[in-house]
Amino acid sequence: MHLILFVLFAGLCLAGAINLLLQSHPINSALSLIVVMTSLAVLYLLLGAEFLAAAQVIVYAGAIMVLFTFVVMLLNAGREERTLGSRAARAVGFPAVVVILSVIATVILKAQGLGTASLSDGITSTEELSAVLFTKLLLPFEVTSVLILIAILGAVALARHGDGERTAGK
């Protein structure tokens, strides 16, 4: 049962990702990305990470992608023009992708003590997750929060900067 669901949603995820690249209309690409995000959530669920799955749907598929579609709608972006693409990019790009993927694969395969994850009925409850997050991983967790805070402050500063110039120009 788990395997069937895994194959189904992994396939959906890949199909969404390929469709994302092939579509020429930005809104279709954004929708394919939503399909990718939601199928990833199902894969998390199959691995027993229920909170992560829900957070994936709420944050990525629900909030961030709404913002994407919002911007696409607001700018009313039109169709992308199909070009033949640059030959240099093609010559360098494909080998580069292969090299990067093989490097990542070797690193992961060589790494020791990663632990295993399997498709099973076992579920990591939200309490266990938060206990680890607030004891063992407290520092990385807080540092990430500060990082996000800095990004927010940066966005506000940029927005205010533009505003100041406009009032100065008047």
Partner 1 sequence: MTILQFFLWSLLKVAVVTVVMLLGVAYTVLLERKLVGRIQNRWGPSRVGPFGLLQPLVDGAKSFLKEDIIPTAVYRPLYLLAPIIALGCALISIAVVPFGDPNVGPDGLHLFQISDVNIGLLVILGITSIGVYGIALAGWSSNNKYSLLGSLRSSAQLISYELALGLSLVGVVLRAQSLNLRVIVESQASRGILTWNIFGGLQFIAFFIYLMAAYAETNRSPFDLPEAESELTAGYHTEYSSMKFAMFFMAEYANMITVGCVATLLFLGGWTSPFGNLIPLPQNIVLQALLPIFWFVLKVFSFLFLYVWVRGTLPRFRYDQLMSFGWRYLLPLAILNIVGTSLWLAYR
Alpha carbon distance 67, 61 (integer Å): 10
- How far CA 85 is from CA of 19, 32, 93, in Å, comes to 18, 22, 12
Q: Does 123 bind partner 1 (CB under 8 A)?
A: yes
Please work out the total of residues on this chain that contact partner 1, with binding judged by CB under 8 A. 24
Closest distance of CB 94 from partner 1, Å: 32
**What tokens were used for 41?**
């959530």
Among 106, 125, 144, 145, binds partner 1 (CB under 8 A): 125
Among 38, 42, 43, 46, binds partner 1 (CB under 8 A): 38
Q: Does 62 bind partner 1 (CB under 8 A)?
A: yes
Among 22, 67, 117, 159, binds partner 1 (CB under 8 A): 67
Output the DSSP codes for the chain.
-HHHHHHHHHHHHHHHHHHHHH--SHHHHHHHHHHHHHHHHHHHHHTTBHHHHHHIIIIIIIIIHHHHHHHHHHHT--PPPP----HHHHHHHHHHHHHHHHHHHHHHHH---------SS--B-HHHHHHHHHTTTHHHHHHHHHHHHHHHHHHHHHHHHHHHHHHHH-
Smaller CB separation from partner 1, 6 or 62? 62
Q: Does 39 bind partner 1 (CB under 8 A)?
A: no
Contact stretch for partner 1 (CB under 8 A) within 118-126, 131-139, 147-155, 157-165: 118-126
Closest distance of CB 6 from partner 1, Å: 18
Closest distance of CB 67 from partner 1, Å: 7
Given the rule CB under 8 A, which residues bind partner 1? 27, 31, 34, 38, 50-51, 54-55, 57-58, 61-63, 66-67, 69-70, 73-74, 76, 123, 125-127
